[in-house]
Amino acid sequence: MIWRFISFKRLNAFENMAIDEAIFRENQRPDSPPTLRFYSWSPPSVSLGYFQATSKEVNIEACRRYSVDIVRRPTGGKAVLHENDLTYAVIASERNPLFPPDILGTYKVISGCIAGGLSELGIEAEMEGDGRSYQDDSLKAVCFSSPSRYELLVKKKKICGSAQLRSKGIFLQHGSILVDFDPLKTCALLLPQQGDGTLQAKKLRGSVTSIHEQIGASVSVENICHVIKKSFEKKLDIELVEGCLTAHEESLKLRLMNDKYMTDKWNMEGKVASDGRKNSD
């Protein structure tokens, strides 16, 4: 089976989310191929889960001081600081025989592909079996404070967080693989200005790890992309062929950027889900 592969790029938060949603929407066309995409964020950005309250779960003033963009994802989940991470996106039909029909089953398959790539780097990641259980309510707005079911742990610390959206027979799953991690900055940006930030950062450090922490900083993002891409091909028995956005996707991306992802109405206020879609974190 042939999939489209969109190779690694560094883009701003608003374009990244517009691209993911454009591919997701256009994948409803019967001739659209499943797609794997890798990207990072420039400038650094905070992405919020679809259902989060921006003013309650992000330190907006700190984001402005650090020149960090804020964007609301189309998927669920918790807030993520995208600065030293690799983000992946998988878009495919719910009826694709490579994936179980349920959300958790899809998580398990995709996590297995990512774990295979990490293994090639010398990092043995295991899937969380039980799901999210917050040890500290002050950290519950932060994605990496605790794992969801079938997310990846290394030595019991979370290294990858993911979220999913389903609508009209198509799913979008995207997630953040930590290349490096700064708990102090994460807490400064993602937590309200209350409590002991140093203590919160220490607690977060105890539940999070990164590729650089595990194997050092010599591995490049491009090499990480390469091994994870190869793992997807091997585990799913697919061929990933490099491609780009279609004309329809490019046009939709631009509209989504201007009308949605670059607006305060979306990023600060959000909206009520009225299209019957299913979000998962």
What is the amino acid identity at position 42? S
CA dist., res. 172 & res. 278, Å (int): 11
* CA 274 – CA 167 distance, rounded (Å): 11
> How many H-runs (helices) and E-runs (strands) does the chain carry?
10, 12
Q: Is 160 a catalytic site residue? A: no
Query: In sequence order, what are the beta bridge partners of 195?
Result: none
The catalytic residue among 143, 160, 187, 225 is 143
Q: How far apart are CA 19 and CA 22, in angstroms?
A: 5
DSSP H or E segment with residue 223: helix 221-236
35-41 and 2-11 beta bridge pairing: parallel
- Max Cα–Cα distance, the chain, nearest Å: 53
Known catalytic residues?
143
